[in-house]
């Protein structure tokens, strides 16, 4: 699934056009979850999807992962061929397999024996490779989940609330690892988050999504280099966005 | 501490038994030593181990068949709503048919032979296994299913690393409860229509001579064998499948 022929930086790695997604269509109370949500994931960029909870962000992720084919619109390239790897909000590790087995089993048969020392070490997982997930903290389990995704050498990495319910230090550590991985590999990252300040800190672009039915309200490019974004700048951008999009971002 | 308590409880039981036997003074309530004596004699003649071996092989074969078929059926029922709808009522009927009825009918329809005996045990035990495994197959973690689909797990990987580990605790529970059920049913089946085995021997000593020492002796020996299998094999298996917890 995941190929290494990554498109150059700036190229569109994935195009998502969801015209309409309705749950319970034809039933008595159909719910329209998404209407007119279109965006791209760009190679070498971090794109953050921000919107109120219950706004169909999970629905959108399920569609672009190919888990839900029942919608109007298209995803190009097709999810089976797009080279997408996903880190779920809950780490979703197999508790009965070791950390290392969890990462290797998600690889296609035949590539499972490859050398993963560099990957495990870069995520600080070296000493944990033979442990079972039950022995890990949430922060460490998220790292394993990230390792599993990165081992695919994906063209697109999808992260669903990857830093939620972590303490500040673990969240900052994991954020640093994600940013380093993107800059190293040139993959495109799509991250769903509630945390606007966090998104402004690491994203290249913000996609603001409305409440149900979810649609795109705006695309906000963040040009300043990640290294040069200080607290004051982040807070300034956040306040400006809150003024502009009060329904999505709380003041 | 736990072991000492167990030991005391067994000793009290034996002492009570001995006292009751002495008070009664009848061969219908033999003392523990009389039973030990019978076991020694029957063991020396070879009859004991021949009968225990026969019964054990019947238990083994029918246990293996019932587990295999029951596990497959249970998974299928848990995964397919339609199949479950079709088979739920027959399963309920089978589950509630007395072992004795199934046995007698098997002997009538299949004949007084080994195949009928095996069929009877399997039919008695299979529904329990299927029902336990059905619960397991219904409770598969949907989050892991989604993960496996996202990472395009192939079928073999999914079965070995996602499905089977989730069903293992149910399979072991079914095996443990099933083994004790299977051997009790095998004795009834032997009593009703087989010329050998522990069930036959018990019936023989009952009809022939009302030899209570023989009946209790056979029971104790076979029970010990089954408890040993449970402790030495099944409990270890259970600890193994739970090792990651």
> Where do we find the tokens 């599993």?
A148
Residue A8 is predicted with a pLDDT of: 67
Residues in B touching A190 (Cβ below 8 Å): none
Give the tens place of pLDDT for each residue, A156-203: 999 998 888 888 888 888 888 888 888 888 899 999 988 888 889 889
The answer to whether the CB atoms of B150 and A86 lie below 8 A apart is yes
Residue A7 is predicted with a pLDDT of: 57
Can you tell me the distance from the alpha carbon of B136 to that of B130, in angstroms, rounded to the nearest whole number? 10
Q: Does the pLDDT value for residue A5 go beyond 70? A: no
Residue A87 is predicted with a pLDDT of: 92
Find the residue in A nearest to B165 (Cα): A96
Predicted confidence band of residue A232 (pLDDT cuts 50, 70, 90): confident
Residue A57 is predicted with a pLDDT of: 84
Tell which of B143, B144, B147 to mutate to test the A interface (max A CBs under 10 Å): B147
Question: Within chain B, which residues score under 70 in pLDDT?
Answer: 1
Q: B216: Cβ–Cβ under 8 A, 6 or more apart, which residues?
A: B30, B35
Quick one: average pLDDT of A70-77?
88
Is A86 at the interface with chain B, CB within 8 A? yes
* Burial of B46 per CB tally in 10 Å (0-12, 13-18, 19+): exposed
Predicted confidence band of residue A30 (pLDDT cuts 50, 70, 90): confident
Instruction: Provide the 10 A C-beta neighbour count for residue B99.
Output: 17
Which architecture does CATH list for B31-241? Orthogonal Bundle (1.10)
Helix, strand, coil % in chain B, rounded to nearest 5: 85, 0, 15
Contact A36, A216 (CB under 8 A): yes
Find the residue in B nearest to A108 (Cα): B153
Give the tens place of pLDDT for each residue, A98-140: 999 999 999 998 889 899 898 898 888 889 999 999 999 888 8
Can you tell me the distance from the alpha carbon of B66 to that of B40, in angstroms, rounded to the nearest whole number? 34
Per-position b or e across B157-188, b if 16+ CB within 10 A of its CB? bbeebbbebbbbebbbbbbbebbebbbbbbbb
Residue A251 is predicted with a pLDDT of: 61
Whether residue A213 is preceded by a cis peptide bond, meaning omega within 30 degrees of 0, is: yes
Can you tell me the distance from the alpha carbon of A147 to that of A150, in angstroms, rounded to the nearest whole number? 5
The answer to whether the CB atoms of B143 and A148 lie below 8 A apart is no
- For every residue of B61-83, DSSP letters joined together read HHHHHHHHHHHHHHHHHHH-HHH
Three-class DSSP labels, chain A: CCCCCCCCCCCEEEEEEEEEEEECCCCCCCEEEEEEEEEEEECCCEEEEECCCCCCHHHHHHHHCCCCCCCEEEEECCCCCCCEEEECCCCCCCCCCCHHHHHHHCCCCCCCCCCCHHHHHHCCCHHHCCCCHHHCCHHHHHHHHHHHHHCCCCCEEEEECCCCCCCHHHHHHHHHHHHHHHHHHCCEEEEEECCHHHHHHHCCEEEEECCCCECEEEEEECCCCHHHCCHHHHHHHHHHHHHHCCCCCCC
Predicted confidence band of residue A4 (pLDDT cuts 50, 70, 90): very low
Residue A166 is predicted with a pLDDT of: 82
Which of A80, A92, A109 has its CB closest to that of B143?
A92
3-state secondary structure of B56: helix
Residue A250 is predicted with a pLDDT of: 73
Crossing angle for the helix pair B114-138 and B81-96, nearest 10 degrees?
Answer: 130
Can you tell me the distance from the alpha carbon of B193 to that of B146, in angstroms, rounded to the nearest whole number? 52
Which of B146, B154, B245 has its CB closest to that of A109?
B154
| Mean confidence (pLDDT) of chain A | 86
> Where do we find the tokens 């999970």?
A58
Quick one: average pLDDT of A43-71?
87
Residue among A80, A69, A52, A70 at smallest CA distance from A156: A80
Predicted confidence band of residue A2 (pLDDT cuts 50, 70, 90): very low
Cα A95 from chain centroid?
Answer: 23
Contact B186, B225 (CB under 8 A): no
A1-83+196-251: CATH number: 3.40.50.300
Predicted confidence band of residue A3 (pLDDT cuts 50, 70, 90): very low
Map out the domains of chain B as residue ranges. Answer: 31-241
The answer to whether the CB atoms of A67 and B153 lie below 8 A apart is no
Is A28 at the interface with chain B, CB within 8 A? no
Instruction: Provide the 10 A C-beta neighbour count for residue A246.
Output: 10
Can you tell me the distance from the alpha carbon of A191 to that of A198, in angstroms, rounded to the nearest whole number? 11
Map out the domains of chain A as residue ranges. Answer: 1-83+196-251
Q: Does the pLDDT value for residue A1 go beyond 60? A: no
């Amino acid at each position: 699934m995941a190929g290494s022929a990554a498109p150059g930086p700036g190229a569109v790695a994935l195009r998502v056009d969801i015209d309409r997604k309705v749950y319970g269509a034809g039933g008595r109370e159909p719910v329209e979850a998404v209407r007119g949500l279109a965006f791209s994931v760009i190679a070498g960029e971090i794109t953050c999807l921000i919107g109120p909870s219950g706004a169909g962000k999970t629905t959108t992720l399920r569609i672009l992962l190919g888990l839900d084919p029942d919608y109007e619109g298209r995803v190009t390239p097709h999810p089976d061929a797009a080279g997408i790897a996903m880190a779920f909000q809950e780490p979703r590790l197999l508790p009965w397999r070791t950390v290392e087995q969890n990462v290797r089993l998600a690889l296609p048969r035949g590539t499972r024996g490859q050398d993963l020392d560099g990957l495990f070490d870069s995520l600080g997982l070296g000493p944990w490779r033979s442990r079972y997930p039950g022995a890990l903290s949430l922060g460490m389990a998220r790292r394993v989940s990230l390792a599993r995704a990165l081992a695919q050498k994906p063209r697109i990495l999808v992260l669903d609330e990857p830093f939620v319910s972590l303490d500040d230090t673990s969240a900052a550590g994991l954020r640093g690892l994600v940013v380093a991985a993107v800059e190293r590999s040139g993959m495109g990252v799509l991250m769903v988050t509630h945390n606007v300040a966090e998104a402004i800190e690491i994203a290249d672009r913000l996609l603001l999504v409305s409440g149900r039915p979810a649609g795109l309200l705006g695309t906000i490019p963040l040009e300043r280099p990640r290294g040069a974004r200080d607290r004051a700048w982040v807070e300034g951008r956040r306040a400006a966005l809150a003024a502009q999009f009060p329904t999505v971002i709380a003041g | 501490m736990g072991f000492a308590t167990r030991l005391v409880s067994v000793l009290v039981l034996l002492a009570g038994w001995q006292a009751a036997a002495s008070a009664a003074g009848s061969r219908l309530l033999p003392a523990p030593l009389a039973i030990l004596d019978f076991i020694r004699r029957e063991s020396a003649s070879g009859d004991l181990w021949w009968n225990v071996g026969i019964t054990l092989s019947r238990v083994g074969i029918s246990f293996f068949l019932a587990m295999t078929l029951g596990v497959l059926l249970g998974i299928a029922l848990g995964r397919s709503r339609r199949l479950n709808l079709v088979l739920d009522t027959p399963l309920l009927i089978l589950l509630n048919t007395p072992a004795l009825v199934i046995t007698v009918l098997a002997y009538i329809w299949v004949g007084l032979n080994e195949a009928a005996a095996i069929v009877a045990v399997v039919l008695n035990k299979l529904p329990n296994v299927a029902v336990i495994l059905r619960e397991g197959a219904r409770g598969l973690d949907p989050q892991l299913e989604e993960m496996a689909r996202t990472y395009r797990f192939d079928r073999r990987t999914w079965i070995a690393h996602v499905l089977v580990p989730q069903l293992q605790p149910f399979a072991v529970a079914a095996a443990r409860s099933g083994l004790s059920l299977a051997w009790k049913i095998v004795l009834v089946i032997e009593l009703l229509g087989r010329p050998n085995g522990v069930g036959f021997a018990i019936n023989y000593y009952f009809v022939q001579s009302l030899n209570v020492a023989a009946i209790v002796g056979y029971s104790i020996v076979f029970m010990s064998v089954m408890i040993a299998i449970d402790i030495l094999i099944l409990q270890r298996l259970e600890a193994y499948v739970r090792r990651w917890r």
